[in-house]
Every structure is written in C-alpha cells, then in structure tokens.
Amino acid sequence: MVDHTAITEDIKVIVFRLLEEEYGVEVHQVRSIERMETITRVPRSPEFVKGVINLRGVVTPIIDLRGRFGLEEAPYTESTRIIIVVAGGLEVGLIVDAANDVIDIPVNAIEPPPEVVGGIEAVYLRGVAKLESRLLILLNLDRVLNKEELQLVAKL
C-alpha cells in the first residue's frame, strides 16, 4: 500500500541565468535551447524585441529578457543562449545569459514572489523556489509576454 501523503509533486524546470540570478521556466513550455545566431531586426517593434530568426524553417520572434525586465544590457558571449518557449500559443525565443541545467522542484518549495526580485517586478514571476543552496526565480511566461505584446510579436 502506498502512503500518498508522503508523495510531493515536482515540476521540472530549465534553469537559466540573467546577471547573477538564476531563473526557471517549466520544461513543458520549452521547445529547444539554441546557440546565439544572427537576428534580423524588425522595424517599429518594441525595444526588447530584438527581431526574428529562421529556426528550421519557422520565423521566430526573439526577445531579450534583460531588456524586457529593464535590466542593464550586456554583450552576448559564448554562453548566451536563446530559449525557444511557447507562450499564448506562439513560439518565441528568449535571450538569456546562460542555460545551465534541468532540475526537479518540489511544488511545496515554491513561495509567492516578493514585490521585486533581482530588479524584476513580481508581475512577471510565478514564484521563488528555495532549494538547498539556491534561490530560483520562476517566470510566469504568460505575464512576461502579455496578450497585446504577443499580438505585436505575432505580426512580425
């Protein structure tokens, strides 16, 4: 007989870095992680929308998460990655400083986010996971790309 009270649900997240902070996005929302490549700029797009790439025949809008969150921009490096995610039914690429890891987080380790974490407003966050030696900030992708902005990006 299984004791169901001892079973805690886990979520699997991709861990990535912006500045010195670690963030997570749920694996089921991630299509792929790509190396940085040439991005074609699109006129009259929001500042944080860097442009589009042709990813295996699909034109994919690319968003710089540092710019989206109002963080200081930095030059891209060897470890810079584009995480292709699905938000609001659209595939969008998110530029991050590095994509580190895939981990399981117990749902009961996730707390509501404070008002601001690492300079990022709580509206963009799903919560904060306190793990043994790490603090992981979980993104709410539906908020990172709100409906109006998704429509703008979809027209690119």
pLDDT digits over 88-142, tens only? 778 899 999 999 899 999 999 999 887 766 666 677 888 999 888 888 999 988 8
Alpha helices in 6-107 (DSSP H): 65-68
Which one is predicted more confidently, 71 or 116? Answer: 71
Does pLDDT of 17 surpass 70?
A: yes
Q: Which residues of 53-87 are buried (b: 16+ CB within 10 A; e: fewer)?
A: bebeeeebbbbbbbbbbebeeeeeeeeebbbbbeb
Bridge partner residues of 35 (DSSP): 81
Q: Domain of residue 38: give its range.
A: 4-154
pLDDT at 55: 92
CATH code for the domain in which residue 124 is found: 2.40.50.180
How many domains are contained in the chain?
A: 1
Whole-structure pTM value: 0.85
